Amino acid sequence: MTRFSANLGFLWNDLPLPEAIRAAKASGFHAVECHWPYETAAPVIKAALEETGLDMLGLNTVRGDVSAGENGLSALPDRQAEARAAIDQAIDYADAVDAAAIHVMAGKATGSKAHAVFLENLAYATDRTRRTILIEPLNRHDAPGYFLESTTQAKDIIAELARPNLKLMFDCYHVGRSEGDVITRLTELLPIVGHIQIASVPYRRQPDHGELHYPSIFAKILELGWQRPIGAEYKPDGQTDTSLGWLREYTH
């Protein structure tokens, strides 16, 4: 049976985070994950996780100055102090709630200096924790100017750094928007994948919408031997509770 994680950055994001965790449990999800949970005290989240029996699969480093359009810090030259503070914050929070992974957000940058500083900050992160450090290419339509823009670029960075706890966040939505051929790319990259996420293409709705045929993708994921929950990181078309017909189909 395929198992799923609720990404609470998008699902039940109208609820306080502990209540969203409880809603995910009640709806049949097997785990949860977050974007930026830092406004909620870690012990409160830990208590909700223990109450529900759900694991926290991951969280993100902060984006920086969102009002100025920033979307991560770790590939920005001359911002290493802030980038590493964000990494420290994410790792400390992950330790407190026992989150499995930390997504280190690169930010908007380009060129050799950005590449070098991103590797330096990823080395810092992978040395500081045994938890999985994830990097995720974002598609150019939603995140123009983002440093990490393809799975090939991410694969090369992972190979160059050669740290066992540095992995690829394979988001079927972003790959579908940027590269296409999702099943082939996932099959090729599975050895370096640390987490898989889903949403419809092109509108990032629930996975029973759009042009990607998720029954085929889920079948391939099972065939490949993937056993961890798949992250449902989509923007519901309406209320979260009414968007979950796909979940009931695959978990009952």
Confidence of residue 214 (pLDDT cuts 50, 70, 90): very high
Find all residues with CB under 8 Å of 17, minimum gap 6, and list them. 8, 34, 37, 40, 44, 45, 48
Helix axes 182-189, 214-223, angle to 10 degrees: 20
* pTM, to two decimals: 0.97
Confidence of residue 251 (pLDDT cuts 50, 70, 90): confident
What residues are labeled active site? 136, 233
Q: What is the dihedral sign for C-alpha 220, 3, 250, 201?
A: negative
Q: Hey, what CATH topology would domain 4-251 get? A: TIM Barrel (3.20.20)
Q: What confidence tens digit (pLDDT) does each residue in 110-168 have? A: 999 999 999 999 999 999 999 999 999 999 999 999 999 999 999 999 999 999 999 99
Average of pLDDT values for 199-222? 96
Q: What confidence tens digit (pLDDT) does each residue in 54-105 have? A: 999 999 999 999 999 999 999 999 999 999 999 999 999 999 999 999 999 9
Find all residues with CB under 8 Å of 235, minimum gap 6, and list them. 10, 199, 204, 205
Find all residues with CB under 8 Å of 131, minimum gap 6, and list them. 91, 94, 95, 99, 100, 101, 102, 165
